[in-house]
Amino acid sequence: MRRIGENIYTEIYFWGCNPSFITTNDGVFMIDAPQQPIDALRWREVIATHGPVRYLVNTEPHGDHINGNAYFPGIEVIGQVGMKERYERAIPQMTGAERLESMKQTDPDSIWLLNHPSYPPNPPTRLFTEELNVTLGDQTVHCIHHPGHTPPQTSVYLPKEQVVFTGDNVFCRVKTFIQEANPWEWLESLDKISALDVEVIVPGHGEPCDKSYLKEQAQIIQDWLGAVEDFIRRGLILEDALKEPRPNVDPYPIGQRLFANSDNLDQRIITNLYNQISTRGKQ
């Protein structure tokens, strides 16, 4: 576990996202939860030494950020309003036979915790549209809607500590997942993140970084856009664009333990951007 401020901790070595937490004199505020059930229980024990958990915010609806909610029963979950529907839609994936089968191969220690009666799904119930400020003890936590990587994407900003948790709007020096993103909103949100008064950025994946990385993150998205715009300019239908040599636009390897989700990632990115660019052209 990484201590990145007097009251701020993150863990970049779980399978999945970087779950984090903030300690206050009135309990703990969590940001995302480990996706693997056994990791979530381990995380709970680590956090318990810092005080009782008061809130959990989900920065986005991907499984590696929300699957762990269940292992914090009774804890109120915060999310952007779009998270409600996305969480409901994700429950079959979270609890279904397919996950059980893959867990037998990838994480047998977690199997006994899957669909455990003590750990039912725990969806976000405290919802906000643009911004929600939560005061907990001596900290005020700002949850800000920054759509991009996903529509309900949320940044968690701590002005007092000059830290922001961006979820997957930032992939720090690991491959950027753009498989469902709106790239233009993402670029705008990166500008907004850049305007915050912060020294440290905790990304969804990869090492904590600072604002200087945001330009590079934006460039990767712009270069992907440019490459797919080029396919469209050349008159390629999507099927043919997918047969082209892969654009060499992201210099980074797949992040810590993300290989399981990396199948056909370039194809999913090209398909998403191709559709987004085509739809935008018709508006």
Q: Give residues in contact with Zn ion (CB under 5 A).
A: 62, 168
Q: 5 or 68, CB closer to Zn ion? A: 68
Q: How far apart are the first and last CA of the chain?
A: 46
Q: Are 125 and 49 in contact (CB under 8 A)?
A: no
Distance CA 52, CA 44 (A): 10
Least Å distance, CB 175 to Zn ion, is 12
Cβ nearer to Zn ion, comparing 65 with 99: 65
Of 40 and 241, the one with the shorter C-beta distance to Zn ion is 40
Maximum pairwise Cα distance, the chain = 60
Residue 224 vs 231, nearer CB to Zn ion: 224
CB of 87 to Zn ion, least distance (A): 14
d(CA 140, CA 159): 8
| Cβ 205 vs Cβ 174: under 8 Å | yes
Instruction: Provide the minimum distance between the beta carbon of 179 and Zn ion in the complex, in angstroms, as a whole number.
Output: 9
CB of 74 to Zn ion, least distance (A): 26
Task: Give the DSSP H/E element, type plus range, for residue 126.
Answer: strand 126-128
Q: How big is the chain by its Cα radius of gyration, in Å?
A: 19
